[in-house]
Chains A and B, each alone.
Chain A
Amino acid sequence: MSNITLDEWAPLLSREAAARRGTLLAIFATVALLFLIVAFFWQKKYTSYVQLHVDNTNAVQVVADVKTALDTNEANVARETLFSNDIMDSVLRTVGYIDENSSAIERERIKEQVMEDTEIYNIENQLLEIVYEHSDPQVAFETATQYADLFLEKSMATSSLETSEAFDFIVDQVETYRAKLEDAEARLESFSQQYPGINASTEGNVDSRIVELRRNMEEANLKYAEFDQRRKSLEREISSQRSTMAVEYAASQTASQVAQLQSQVDLLRLSYTDDYPDIIRLKQQINEAIAGANDNARNVTGADRSLAINPLYQQLRNTLTTVTAEADSQRIRAARLKVQLAQEIERSSVSGKVERELTELTRDYQINKDLYEDLLRRKESARLTMVLGAEKQGVLYRIQQPANFPVLPTGLRFMHIAAMGLFLGLVLPIFYLVVFLKVDPRIRTSSAVTELLELPLLTTVPHMVQPNEKPGLLSRPASVFGVIFLVVALYIIVAIIKYMMAAAPQGAV
């Protein structure tokens, strides 16, 4: 690769272009003329297309209630239908590609060609586009029309067949499910006759009752234990109390009186002798008090003894009586609850089996009922779809846009190819120069000397035109202008011929 800096490209290209103008001119002329020849013989293509609207709600879907996987395969399915032998033969014969005399090989070859020129597109799952391309607009139009008509006809027949099959199927299914539902209903009825008291709501009640009984029984047991404990402690308390309390009370009063008097005596004795009158009096009082107390004690133990009963003892006795009664009542209640609980448990174990059977029967019945109702609804939808299909209003496809008569050719035309020829004729020589300069390693620029080899460059001597220097035939300015003029003239002439040829058949029509 040669070493060429960016600023050297423009002068280098212009210098090399001038030096190699013969080669460049040859490339230009060759490319331009080649494209002109291709453009001259290029056949115009006319494209006619039909758009079919795709209706996704057909009877099969209604019955099956699922989205059928049409989405991306729509075009493929349509292609299969369209390229089937019956449709293709019909198209070929109607449009006039083949006649009775055509051989089988010829027929097959033409069919291949027609199939190749036919394109089928699926536009956003809504539209199906059938495109046909031909050099004659009339043929293109007729073929596209034929395609659409035959395709619709065939798909409609297929669709109505599918619909009626689907309807038959669903009617059959409705019958089956009705029989099943009736069977379930009968079984449920016979069961309820067998177990009149049992219905769907019984089972839960038994369970909750058992739980309640159990709770009440535990409560009663707890209360009994509590009262029993209280009774025991009261009995202990009573045994420690005395029923007679009044005597002790009087005795203790006398004792305190004596003690008080004695202390007065002791106080006086500090100051006086025993024969002091106050002391003597006090002693007498003491003796009297003791004597009085003894008398009282004797009296109390006699007839008036009840008056001396202890009040605390009395109260304890009362409480004990109440507690004992309560404890007894709780004990009896717990015992009764226990009996009831046992009865309930026994009863629930019997009803469990019956209830399970009932639940099963009910569920069976419910499912059959739902399915049957759903099928009935679908049957009605299918019937509607089938009626619509018979009236051609609910078909799978309908024509969205009928085949157009192509007035303007599509694709590449003479003008395009000619313009491309001129353009490439100009670009390719430049491309050739760039590639040549890029690939050729020989030194052409000062930078190759100064930068690549790092040698001093003294000067660059330009080419000196010699008086006797004869450039090649193509390099002469006259040749250059002559060839360019010739090429352009040829383009204009061919363009005129081409348009005259295009105008001629139209004028004839």
Chain B
Amino acid sequence: MTDRAKIANVRSIVQQQQGKKIRRNRKETGRSMVPVNRTTQGRTNLRAAADSVSLADKARSDLANMEEAKLFSDRQLELLGIVHPRSKNRPLVDAMRQLRTKLYSLKQEGNFSVLVSSVLPQGGGSFVALNLAATIAFDKAKTSLLVDANLHDPVIHKLLKLIGRDDSHGLLEYLEHPELGVEHIVSPSGIPRMRVIPIGSHTEISAEHFTSARYKQLMVDIKERYDNRFVVVDGPAMTTSADARILSDICDYTVLVLPYGGVTPGVLDSIVDEIDERKLAGIVINDQPI
């Protein structure tokens, strides 16, 4: 029931539609709908980078129109397992709203960044992170930014693929390439007022990415650019990676997702011991049977 399963389910539907669109566009224009011309050596190809930067700027300037065009329908969101204000799954919406409200109550003024990390792999961390970001965006006065920092099991890029934005740069590329700016990695999500930073492609997996000053600076930048923007970081599972603990240090709060009937109190206690107690916002029990 994990995020991957959901996305795999919807992907076939959306891809079919997109496939049709692409074929139609090719017939009409004779070229790809996606304007970014990415190369395999994108790392050293500055021109390509400059192109993408200019294209990104252009894209941002026309953001509203583009987002409107690429928004998921309610039906698609439901298939993806993402909440929306009109959802009939009231228990899920209520649970996510409760989570959001409790997090707001932790910090009365201003925005915050929160790491959402599962206790176990496949524990629904990404699901909760995604829905938390979506729920924050219910409010027209607030926006949310979902950062995919889950090196082991990234999800966001699949979402972007569905809306045809899988060509955008991601977090790892940003950390590896100083020439890339924040604006290059922030993508629309298909959900109003919600942005995402995908994990991006990478040549090596290293935990040192998140200890770098550049990552810290990124977190400061994206949080402080807009004071109504709330940053949600989708971290890897606590038991599989040390990344989660590093990410926790940089975020304002940490939310631990506990799969129902997944771990014993002893395991949870030892995990909680490893993270800063002041930053632990609390526990979310996920996937409780109805």
Q: A residues within 8 Å of B by Cβ?
A: 3, 15-16, 18-19, 440-444, 446, 448-449, 452-453, 455-469
Q: List chain A residues, Cβ under 8 A from B262.
A: 442-443
B261 & A461 in contact (Cβ 8 Å cutoff): no
| 11 sampled A-B residue pairs with Cβ under 8 A | A15-B288, A442-B262, A444-B260, A444-B288, A446-B285, A453-B272, A455-B282, A458-B283, A460-B285, A464-B89, A466-B5
Given contacts A459-B95, A461-B96, contact A453 B9 (CB under 8 A): no
B290 & A441 in contact (Cβ 8 Å cutoff): no
A461 & B124 in contact (Cβ 8 Å cutoff): yes
Within the complex, which residue of A440, A446, A449 is in contact with B261, where a contact is CB–CB below 8 Å? A440
A476 to chain B: closest CB distance in Å? Answer: 16
A452 & B265 in contact (Cβ 8 Å cutoff): yes
A18 & B290 in contact (Cβ 8 Å cutoff): yes
Q: Which residue of A is nearest B81, CB measured?
A: A464
Q: Convert B201-243 into 0s and 1s, putting 1 for each residue whose CB lies closer than 8 angstroms to a CB of A.
A: 0000000000000000000000000000000000000000000
Query: Does any Cβ of A come within 8 Å of B287's Cβ?
Result: yes
Q: List chain B residues, Cβ under 8 A from A462.
A: 91-92, 95, 287-290
Query: Does any Cβ of A come within 8 Å of B274's Cβ?
Result: no
Inter-chain CA distance A502–B183, complex, in Å, is 88
Q: List chain A residues, Cβ under 8 A from B81.
A: 464, 466
Q: List chain B residues, Cβ under 8 A from A456.
A: 280-283
B63 to chain A: closest CB distance in Å? Answer: 30
Inter-chain CA distance A442–B263, complex, in Å, is 5
Within the complex, which residue of A455, A460, A466 is in contact with B95, where a contact is CB–CB below 8 Å? A460
Q: Convert B248-289 into 0s and 1s, putting 1 for each residue whose CB lies closer than 8 angstroms to a CB of A.
A: 000000010010111111101100100000001111111111
Q: List chain A residues, Cβ under 8 A from B9.
A: 466-468
Which B residues from 95 to 143 make CB contacts under 8 A with A?
Answer: 95-96, 98-99, 102-103, 124, 127-128
A458 & B92 in contact (Cβ 8 Å cutoff): no
Inter-chain CA distance A462–B258, complex, in Å, is 12
> Sorted from nearest, which 9 A-B pairs have the closest CB atoms?
A456-B282, A19-B289, A458-B282, A15-B289, A459-B99, A459-B98, A460-B285, A462-B91, A468-B9
A466 to chain B: closest CB distance in Å? Answer: 6
Q: List chain B residues, Cβ under 8 A from A440.
A: 261
Given contacts A442-B264, A458-B281, A468-B5, contact A18 B99 (CB under 8 A): no
- Give the interface residue-count category, chain B: 35 or more
Query: Does any Cβ of A come within 8 Å of B59's Cβ?
Result: no
Q: List chain B residues, Cβ under 8 A from A15.
A: 288-290
Given contacts A19-B289, A453-B269, A466-B6, contact A461 B264 (CB under 8 A): no
B98 & A463 in contact (Cβ 8 Å cutoff): no
B283 & A455 in contact (Cβ 8 Å cutoff): yes
Inter-chain CA distance A16–B284, complex, in Å, is 19
Q: List chain A residues, Cβ under 8 A from B290.
A: 15, 18, 462-463, 465
Inter-chain CA distance A444–B287, complex, in Å, is 10
Q: List chain A residues, Cβ under 8 A from B79.
A: 467
A441 & B286 in contact (Cβ 8 Å cutoff): no
Additional 20 contacts, C-beta under 8 A, given A443-B268, A467-B9: A15-B288, A441-B265, A442-B261, A449-B258, A449-B283, A449-B285, A457-B285, A458-B102, A459-B284, A460-B284, A460-B285, A462-B287, A463-B1, A463-B290, A464-B89, A465-B290, A466-B9, A466-B81, A468-B9, A469-B1
Q: List chain A residues, Cβ under 8 A from B281.
A: 456, 458
B118 to chain A: closest CB distance in Å? Answer: 12
A453 & B268 in contact (Cβ 8 Å cutoff): yes
Inter-chain CA distance A115–B4, complex, in Å, is 72
Q: Convert B140-154 into 0s and 1s, putting 1 for each residue whose CB lies closer than 8 angstroms to a CB of A.
A: 000000000000000
Most buried by A among B89, B127, B128, B285: B285
A460 to chain B: closest CB distance in Å? Answer: 4
B290 to chain A: closest CB distance in Å? Answer: 5
Given contacts A458-B282, A460-B95, contact A466 B288 (CB under 8 A): no
Q: List chain B residues, Cβ under 8 A from A443.
A: 258, 260-265, 268, 285
Within the complex, which residue of A18, A461, A466, A468 is in contact with B286, where a contact is CB–CB below 8 Å? A461
B95 & A444 in contact (Cβ 8 Å cutoff): no
Q: List chain A residues, Cβ under 8 A from B89.
A: 464
Q: Which residue of B is nearest A437, CB measured?
A: B261
A105 to chain B: closest CB distance in Å? Answer: 61
Within the complex, which residue of B1, B96, B272, B289 is in contact with A459, where a contact is CB–CB below 8 Å? B96
Given contacts A18-B289, A466-B81, contact A458 B261 (CB under 8 A): no
Within the complex, which residue of B263, B264, B268, B289 is in contact with A463, where a contact is CB–CB below 8 Å? B289
Inter-chain CA distance A3–B285, complex, in Å, is 15
Inter-chain CA distance A164–B165, complex, in Å, is 120
Inter-chain CA distance A465–B268, complex, in Å, is 26
A448 & B265 in contact (Cβ 8 Å cutoff): yes
Q: Which residue of A is nearest B287, CB measured?
A: A463
Q: Which residue of A is nearest B90, CB measured?
A: A462
A471 to chain B: closest CB distance in Å? Answer: 12
Inter-chain CA distance A164–B96, complex, in Å, is 102
Q: List chain B residues, Cβ under 8 A from A457.
A: 282-285
B280 & A455 in contact (Cβ 8 Å cutoff): yes
A211 to chain B: closest CB distance in Å? Answer: 106
Q: Which residue of A is nearest B128, CB measured?
A: A461
Inter-chain CA distance A44–B124, complex, in Å, is 59
Inter-chain CA distance A449–B258, complex, in Å, is 10
Inter-chain CA distance A449–B290, complex, in Å, is 19
Given contacts A455-B272, A466-B81, contact A460 B288 (CB under 8 A): yes
Q: List chain A residues, Cβ under 8 A from B287.
A: 461-464
Within the complex, which residue of B5, B269, B285 is in contact with A461, where a contact is CB–CB below 8 Å? B285
Within the complex, which residue of A16, A453, A459, A463 is in contact with B265, where a contact is CB–CB below 8 Å? A453
Inter-chain CA distance A461–B128, complex, in Å, is 8
Inter-chain CA distance A453–B256, complex, in Å, is 14
Inter-chain CA distance A266–B289, complex, in Å, is 165
A305 to chain B: closest CB distance in Å? Answer: 153
